[in-house]
Chains A and B, each alone.
Chain A
Amino acid sequence: MMKSMLLVVISVVVVASVWAQGPVCPPRPMPGSLVVNPLDLYSQNGALNVNLTLQNQFGSDQFEHYCYVYTDSMGNQTEAPTLRLNPGDQLNLNLTDNIQPPYFGPQKVQKPHMDMQFPPPPVKPTNPDCNGGMLMGGSTNMHFHGLNIPPVCGQDDVIYTLIQSGDPPFPYSFQIPSNDNPGMYWYHPHAHGNTTTQVDGGAAGAIFIEGTINGTQGLPERVFVIRQQFKNPNSWLPGPNQLTINFQPALFPDAPSPFINMQYGQQEFWRVANSSTQAFLTLQVIYGTTPQNVQVVALDGVPLNPPITENQILLAPAARAEFIVPGLPSDEEGVFLTNGYNTGPVGNPNPPQQLLKMFGTTNSKVEPPPDRGSSKPPAERQRFAGLLTQQPTTQRNLYFSEQTVGSNGPTQYFITVAGQKPKVFSMDAPPAITTQIGAVEDWTIENHAGEAHAFHIHQLHFLLMDVNGQPVQNPELYDTFTIPAWSGSGPYPSITVRMDFRDPQIAGTFVFHCHILDHEDGGMMQKIQVNPN
């Protein structure tokens, strides 16, 4: 009798403990350990088939973890693998939503009331997850950041697609454009209202479109996904947070630094994604005490021609940089850091932080990626080719602005087309801009707020033409770009970008927004409808 009672008690305790813990994410590296590349998943025979499960856990580090879990054929689980595909390949990704309550850690301040009804699409879809619905704590979807693919449910739609916890696996299936640029992209949740929480929890991974980037052949390759985690991602108060590099907290000098071992004298090819929720990174490599010039070969997934040499790279939240790092001299050590960024008079703190330490070795294990025979040039004209010489059909003016009830927030965030009324974005709002396939437009985007913002548009890259009214000498393509804070007087900081709506694949409705995710969730987003011809 006693024995059976004890068993019952033990069973209750075990069940209660499992319930309290919820889904379990793979363990993340401890501070001070070796930084390794994420697991690579390669397409084979023109396709990459992958199953990911998004789940959450309140970690022992007192941060809420949201993890994309990949389980291999042996049952081993890995978080946020890197997806590698060639131009023209098919990505078949089944996403299972296993997010479980509680959605937030203890003692967290909630945002203001924020019910969001995702609208149904014009044509009723067969998959109910493509039919909008009410945003719940466990709702999610996926955005393939930077890929120039259709805004269609099952491809790269974030307006009508809403996956609920417990739904059957949601099938994403699309083809990488055969003429797309080789480079670094990334995937992350984009369910408006939940984006900050989930990305803050770590739900982000890299995507590479394979192909030759001049000067990088044969170089050891490192992939760094820099994330940011807040103790309380849902608070408007800029509270305790930390940057992580491949999930390892970068806390030096308060904790041992993440590190890598580099072969003395060996150049390396580094591919870095700023997958933070709001950090502007000013990346720098220092050997000894000397900042190093690095050769930047691609930005936001687009190779630069010619490459540029920089000793510091500004990456807006969501931006990527790919660069060649010079060899570490013998008997030297190095550091990779962000120098911090002035986000403006009312911007959040964005301090410097050492991201990792580099030690020299004579037997580094880092290898070049396998040669997958993808070095042949694209069969078709490169994406966005000739955009610089296109005559724009329309000029538009937009601006970022904010309105807050107090110095600590909460704040209403706006991105507004000039002449329209500033509005907090709601999912059922009509498009702020309507255009059509074939259009080439120049947009001037100003920042009227006292903090920096990061402009991003889905489905396409834009050509940066002017900064603060001054023409850019060598315009490059981006999908995310920083607009510094307004100083309180004088002209508003601005960029002018050229938008390419010529590709019929991107017809549909999609969004543009600030990629500070708290701002995006807070309403700094609008829709654009691109009508087919």
Chain B
Amino acid sequence: MKKLFTLLLILGIWILPATSHAADKSKASSSPIYVITNDDGTMHSYATFFVAGGTQNDPTLTFQQSVNTQGLGIGGGFFGTPRLTMLPNSSTQCLYVSDAGTGDVAAINLSSKTLVGNFSGSINDIGTSNGIGLAMNQNYLYAGYTLSNTIATFSVGAGCTLSFLGDITVTPLNGGWIAGMALNGNIMVVTYIDGSIESFNIANGIPIPNNDEQNSAGFAQTYFPDSVDITQDGHFAIFGDAAVPTIVEVSDLSSGKLAPTVMYLVSLPTNAIGPGVNSATARLSPDESLLYICNSQNGYVAAAFFNTSTGKVTPGCTSQLLNNFYNPWSYVGGLQTRDTTGTGNVLYVAEFGSSIGIVNVTSTGTACTLTEVAGSPVADNSSPGLLSIQVAPPRPF
């Protein structure tokens, strides 16, 4: 009896993943995975759709079409600012793309890949210096304007439409500007790239400060949180720091406010400045086992292990220098995972200077590898300075 149970268990272990894998494959073949860019062009701006294909070891990215946002970008800005957003579920049909030059949010229907409309906040909302960050939930979309330091709130209507509700002004502690944004449940966390961070209660739509604005632990060493991500259960906020070494910071959100951050040194760059400079973007894998980090200034991506119970971060692995760094592209922007489960398996990396890098991920749970694939990067010819990308279907949180 015991042997039979063991046999069934083994069969179960063998069969279940295989079935699940088959289901994934079937899903992948029926609904394509899109990698979408905010091209941020200053003369014309597009959301460009690529189709992710190929195999695990040989992933590909094929241009499909560019959708004119009918607005203008600015060709650059903060690394940690998310310029595209969508609801974190696989059935969502609405994609939102910010136009920093014209100050609006373009809504795009994912099925038809057509522009639904452009939606603006108030005349006080200006993002022409470093972009407009976006974050959303089922009911509201939030747009952080970097120059005016305002957050506009829109209600999400039928057919991807938006209605402007109002805006608030934020006051960074050290003269900075709003950059990173992320939300989970009733809390939204933002960074101000001057070392200060803040959270807001968004239960009723327009953000209300949680009165927890503070300097991060890294501030004293001029490590400034740039991007922010939040765990699926809302327990931790994780910040990617603009810093010379690879630094991330973690804040416990379980009280409903930002607790003082804990700083984690992921890697000391070679010769104090080589591979591993400027960890401006940090993003969790779908299973939250890995934290992916873009070393914005030195052309590498890194991964660290994340403990969802404790919030601890431990060093993992670093890629080789990504292809064509500094010739012609010059900064690593944001990244997204291809798959919505596990480690995400493949990373798509926005490269400032019109390309998308493709990096394979392997992980045993205690060791990992990041390997740029042959054929990477893929050109995104309509972007003068790519910093933000999105994958549809998105990570489920």
Contact = CB atoms under 8 A, between A and B. Distances in A.
Interface string A394-410: 00000101111111100
A403 B321 contact: no
Given A112-B176, A403-B244, A422-B272, A408 B321 contact: no
A448 B130 CA distance: 25
Interface of B, helix, strand, loop or mixed by DSSP = loop
B316 interface: no
Given A113-B175, A346-B330, A406 B130 contact: yes
B79 interface: yes
A112 B174 contact: yes
Interface residues of A, number: 32
Given A113-B194, A407-B352, A424-B222, A487 B327 contact: yes
Nearest to B331: A407
Contacts of A487: 326-327
Contacts of A114: 175
Contacts of B76: 406-408
Contacts of A405: 78-80, 179, 193, 224, 226, 242, 280
Nearest to A237: B129
Interface size on B, as a range, is 35 or more
A128 interface: no
Nearest to A110: B175
B194 A408 contact: no
B41 interface: no
A4 interface: no
B385 A488 contact: no
The CB with the most chain A CB atoms within 10 A, among B131, B174, B222, B273, is that of: B273
Interface in B63-108: 74, 76-81
A421 B78 CA distance: 25
B393 interface: no
Interface string A179-198: 00000000000000000000
Given A412-B222, A488-B299, A406 B273 contact: no
A1 B246 CA distance: 75
B387 interface: yes
A403 B326 contact: no
B326 to A, nearest CB: 3
Interface string B231-260: 000000000001110000000000000000
B318 to A, nearest CB: 15
A415 to B, nearest CB: 12
Contact of A404 (B175, B297, B327): B297
A113 B194 CA distance: 9
A290 interface: no
Given A345-B327, A422-B273, A408 B129 contact: yes
Contacts of B299: 488
Nearest to B322: A488
B278 interface: yes
Interface string A419-451: 101111000000000000000000000001010
26 contacts: A112-B175, A345-B326, A405-B78, A405-B242, A406-B77, A406-B81, A406-B179, A406-B193, A407-B330, A408-B74, A408-B76, A408-B78, A408-B130, A412-B242, A418-B272, A419-B272, A421-B272, A422-B272, A424-B222, A450-B326, A487-B327, A488-B298, A488-B299, A488-B325, A488-B326, A489-B325
Given A406-B76, A407-B79, 7 more contacts: A112-B175, A113-B194, A403-B297, A406-B80, A421-B272, A448-B271, A489-B326
